[in-house]
Structure 1
Amino acid sequence: MRLSKTSVALGMLAGVAASVVAPDPVAEASPQWGLNGTYVATSNGEWAKTNDVFHNEASIRSTWSITTTCSYPGECTGTMSSDFGWSAPIYQKSGVWYVKKSVDRWQPCPDGSAGPGLQVFRFYPATEDGSGTDPASTTLMGEDSTTGVSGSCGSSKVLFITMPFKLVKNS
C-alpha cells in the first residue's frame, strides 16, 4: 500500500502540532520558587503595637521547618512546623508569603477567661536593609499580627497586636 504525499504531509503536521501543544509529562515546578529548609523566625516585640499604639512585647525566636511546592512563581503552598510544637499551612500569593494559625486562650477577658486569636505571619523576600524586595534573598521580612475574635469576651472590642517579623534561612 502506498501513501500519498498528502497523507505523509498531514501525518508530519499532526506530529509537529502534538509536540508543540502537548505538555511535557516530566516537567516539574522549579524548586527555587518556594521556601524549603530550616529558617530562624523572629517576631520583634520591641517594636510591637497594641491596638495601633507602640507597646513593648516579648520578642519571640523559633526555628521553622518549611516544605513548599510551587505551580509557578508567586503561587506556592506547603506546610511549616515550629520548634514550639505547632504547624500550619504556608502559602504564597503574588510574591507574599502567609502563615495563619489559631491561638487558643489568647485575648484576656475581664471575667478571667480568655478568647481565641488569629495569628497571621505575612512576609516577602527582602533586600539586606529591608528597604525593598529581592526575589533571590534568603531573608524575608514582614509582620506578625494577632487579632482577638470579636464577641469572645462578651463585647465587640478586640485586642490587636502587630510586630515586625523576620525569617532567615539557616546556612
Structure 2
Amino acid sequence: MKTKLSRISRIATSWALPATVVVAAAGATLVMAPHAGAAFCDPPLNGTFAAHSDGAWAKTNDVFHDETPAVSTWTATTSCTADFPNCAGQVASNQGWSAPATCQAGGMWYVKRHLDHWEHCGDGTEAPGDQLFYFSPQLTGAPSFSAVTTFTGVDRTVGPSGGCGINKPLVIEIPFQLTKIG
C-alpha cells in the first residue's frame, strides 16, 4: 500500500509544476492581451491611400451582381492610445466626403458614413444608406506591422427596410482594398 501511495504522490508532484507553469502562462497572456492587441492597430493609419472597391465581385443581397468599380484617394489622419488599444481619427476622400475612422483591439479598421440620397427608386424618390468600409492589414510579405502598405476588406452599404417601397433592406457588399501611396 505504501508503494502505491508514494507512486501516486510522485505522479501528482510531477504534474504540479507543469500545471503551475500552464496556469501562470495563461494568466500572463490574459494580463498582456490588451496591449498585444494594440499592435494590430499600431502604427496608426496615416497618409495618402488609393481606395478601390472592386465592383466585378459585388454582391447585392448576397447574390453576385456587377457594380461600377469605385476608385478614390483617401487622406487618413489617426492616432492610437497606449493605455487602451484603440485608434481613432478621420478619413477624407477626394470625392468630397470625410468620415471618422476607428480601429479596435482586433486590428479591424472601420470607416462609416451616411449617404442621404443613396438608392434611386423607380418613382423618382430616393432612400438613404449607411456605408461601412471595414478592412485589416494585409500581412503577407510585410516584415513588420509598420511595413504594412495594403489593407483588404469590404465596402458595405445598407439601405433601410421599406426603402423604395420594398420591405427588405438593400445590401451591397464589394471587396475593398486600400493601398498606401504617400
TM-score, normalised to structure 1, is: 0.74
- Does residue 56 of the first structure (1) align with residue 66 of the second (2)? yes
Give the ranges of 4+ consecutive aligned residues of structure 1 lying more than 4 Å apart after TM superposition. Answer: 29-32
Over aligned residue pairs, what C-alpha RMSD do you find?
Answer: 2.3
CA–CA separation in structure 1 for the residues paired with 2:64 and 2:181: 30
- 1:26-66 per-residue CA deviation (whole Å, 9 max, x = no partner) reads xxx99952011100000000100011111111111100000
Question: 1:58–1:128: structure 2 CA closer, same or farther, 3 Å change rule?
Answer: farther
Q: How many residues align?
A: 139
CA–CA separation in structure 2 for the residues paired with 1:150 and 1:32: 37
Structure (1 or 2) with the greater strand fraction: 1
Indicate if the aligned counterparts of 1:102 and 1:116 stay in contact, CA closer than 8 A: yes
Indicate if the aligned counterparts of 1:33 and 1:74 stay in contact, CA closer than 8 A: no
Question: 1:74–1:36: structure 2 CA closer, same or farther, 3 Å change rule?
Answer: same
Stretches of structure 2 that go unaligned for 5 or more consecutive residues are 1-37
Structure (1 or 2) with the greater helix fraction: 2
Q: Which residue of 2 aligns with 1:41?
A: 51
Indicate if the aligned counterparts of 2:131 and 2:156 stay in contact, CA closer than 8 A: yes
Given residue 57 of structure 1, which amino acid in structure 2 is its aligned partner? E
- Does residue 142 of the first structure (1) align with residue 153 of the second (2)? yes
Q: Which residue of 2 aligns with 1:67?
A: 77
Stretches of structure 1 that go unaligned for 5 or more consecutive residues are 1-28
Indicate if the aligned counterparts of 2:52 and 2:69 stay in contact, CA closer than 8 A: yes
Given residue 57 of structure 2, which amino acid in structure 1 is its aligned partner? W
- Does residue 98 of the first structure (1) align with residue 110 of the second (2)? yes
Displacement of 1:149: 1.4
CA–CA separation in structure 2 for the residues paired with 1:76 and 1:169: 18
CA–CA separation in structure 2 for the residues paired with 1:53 and 1:109: 20
Q: Secondary structure at the match of 2:81?
A: strand
Indicate if the aligned counterparts of 2:42 and 2:145 stay in contact, CA closer than 8 A: no
Q: Which residue of 2 aligns with 1:86?
A: 97
- 1:72-92 per-residue CA deviation (whole Å, 9 max, x = no partner) reads 385100001000000000000
CA–CA separation in structure 1 for the residues paired with 2:128 and 2:52: 22
Range with greater deviation from structure 2 (54-63 or 135-144): 135-144
- Does residue 117 of the first structure (1) align with residue 136 of the second (2)? no
